[in-house]
Chains A and B, each alone.
Chain A
């Protein structure tokens, strides 16, 4: 059910997006007039050295942050026009986050961590949350606390949580950055199957091999896109 390649619908569109951080040591331009568009169902890898603005970009796309100049359109909405409250709601509906640090609530079980995302989105549904856990292969770990799960398992819970409200966009900031090779493979496999199911994925990674899984790679440098290419290893050509 991959989105037809014939008429790729643009789901994310950045126009001259600029984001500056004002600190005591002066202003850092983390993103410098970036323009980028992503089609629905596309898997985009974002690469670049540390400090090049990758996380800043992800935060903008995740509606956690706003641009200082330019515009960000997600699913047809200009997020600059949204009030803070609308942005909170839009975020819950539109994006799912997968963090390098997992960010699971330590005192809630795996299942409850997923239900928390349902709660902030609309209402909880234990069955659905359970199904999501099963989809990432953790059906038997529902009652475990994050501290009782391995890093890979925690990241899978995080992925299940990101998916639970069926957001059109998945944002993954170094999803495998804290994982060993075996777990990295499991998570990569999960992302791939999600993408094959039609999810749009934006993924920050330092790992070129992992980036090759994506459809397209953009490379940032000092807040600018310096390279943009089709991935050679794209596993699915649609």
Chain B
């Protein structure tokens, strides 16, 4: 009888229930999407944010950081020491290797450029563009473009030339304007002809420089296989108290914990370990920015999800209040037939639970689809259905719906059968 009663009564007041179910559906859709994104994209988002700059710089220990004025290295190119390009792959062998998303070496120098009308000294920097870094079977594509996704390129990045010395370069947009260079033009650099493969707009001082394949810069300098400094982009854990500790002063146990946490500092420490005679330093400002943005975005997501759930609870409350007022005669009758207060509450709660499960299930499916879409659109990778979220979503839907309807069900329980029955008599 009870199932029959529930089913029949469930099918009544369909429009109102549809509205409540819709509210639950929307709420759980938002929550599922948020949870799906939150759990599977935390990493992706971090990666995405990491794209907005390096968070570790590596340079020779004998050196101090390059003296840069307006982004241009004013140290004599011959001064100081260098890192070995061949060593860089070791960075992908450290404990936190999978957190390393990009390695971008640089070799700055000053070169002589001759065009049809003028000869002049201009700054140039050797980069990896799409460099295939190999270690055993693994291979990664790394270089400056990945580290600076905001760089706008016309044309293409210079090819690295294989085993031969490359003969293509890219030109910063300001320099290109000044020298009247266009895509495909040829100019003479260090007395060699070079083709302009790309024109780059970076929004900073790089616009006044030549961007050349690392091998070309090394050839010009006559120092094969060297780099000046290396920028590393790594996924890191937001900095906390432990992150700021000096690892050499920590107890062995704490040192292990520090070492095994992906702090920018500990990753830098591991790079120093693996590349002797180097200094690796956290580029603090960016790393901190990342974690604040990330925590703000998750905070925002949480807020949206909570608002959606609150709205769902309110919608359920509103729909239940009217539903119960409309059915007071029925409640009175059931009480007169011997139904206890708990039976009445059970009846309504069962109905609401069914509604919540239905809405929650649909919300889960819709939310998962939505998360998938967002994953594709925003993070460029799909988010798989996470079946673990289903019970969580259903539970949330049920809890929210029961909470939303509790006040009106309580009202229904308190209704006195005598008063309800005499109302129309």
Which residues of A are interface residues toward B (Cβ below 8 A)?
A: 55, 59, 62, 64-65, 84-85, 88-89, 91-93, 97, 99-101, 103, 105, 107-108, 112, 115-121, 124, 161, 173-174
Contacts and interface: CB of A to CB of B under 8 A. Distances in A.
Interface string B320-364: 000000000110111111111101000000000000000000000
A99 to B, nearest CB: 7
Given A65-B416, A116-B1, A119-B2, A103 B335 contact: no
A145 B425 CA distance: 22
B424 A92 contact: no
B421 A99 contact: yes
Given A108-B8, A124-B1, A173-B425, A59 B418 contact: yes
B88 to A, nearest CB: 75
Contact of B333 (A105, A115, A119): A105
A88 B338 contact: yes
A65 B424 contact: no
A64 B422 CA distance: 11
Nearest to A64: B418
Given A92-B337, A92-B338, A120-B343, A103 B2 contact: no
A97 B334 CA distance: 11
B259 to A, nearest CB: 64
Q: Which of A97, A115, A117, A120 has the most CB of B within 10 A?
A: A120
Interface of B: 1-2, 4-5, 8-9, 11-12, 329-330, 332-341, 343, 416-418, 421-422, 424-425
Contacts of B1: 112, 115-116, 118-119, 124
B329 A107 contact: no
A97 B421 CA distance: 11
A112 B341 contact: no
Dominant secondary structure at the B interface = helix
Nearest to B423: A101
Given A105-B330, A107-B9, A116-B334, A55 B425 contact: yes
Contacts of A118: 1
Nearest to B333: A103
Given A105-B333, A108-B5, A112-B4, A120 B418 contact: no
B201 to A, nearest CB: 70
Nearest to A121: B338
Contacts of B4: 108, 112
Given A59-B418, A103-B329, A112-B4, A88 B425 contact: no
A97 B338 CA distance: 11
Contacts of B417: 64
A121 B337 contact: yes
Contacts of A65: 416, 418
- The 7 A-B residue pairs with the shortest CB-CB distance in the complex, in nearest-first order: A92-B338, A119-B1, A64-B418, A120-B338, A59-B418, A65-B418, A103-B333
A17 to B, nearest CB: 14
A142 to B, nearest CB: 14
B416 A62 contact: no
A92 B333 CA distance: 11
Contacts of A161: 337
Nearest to B330: A105
B340 A85 contact: yes
Nearest to B336: A97
Contacts of A97: 336-337
B76 to A, nearest CB: 92
A97 B422 CA distance: 13
B422 A55 contact: yes
Contacts of B9: 107
Contacts of A105: 330, 333
A144 B4 CA distance: 16
Contact of A107 (B11, B334, B422): B11
Contact of B339 (A59, A62, A93, A120): A120
Nearest to A99: B421
Nearest to A117: B337
B418 A116 contact: no
23 contacts: A55-B422, A59-B421, A64-B336, A64-B417, A88-B340, A89-B340, A91-B336, A91-B338, A97-B336, A101-B425, A103-B333, A103-B421, A105-B333, A107-B9, A108-B4, A112-B4, A116-B334, A117-B337, A119-B1, A119-B2, A119-B5, A120-B338, A121-B337
Nearest to B4: A112
B339 A88 contact: yes
B418 to A, nearest CB: 4
A173 B337 CA distance: 15
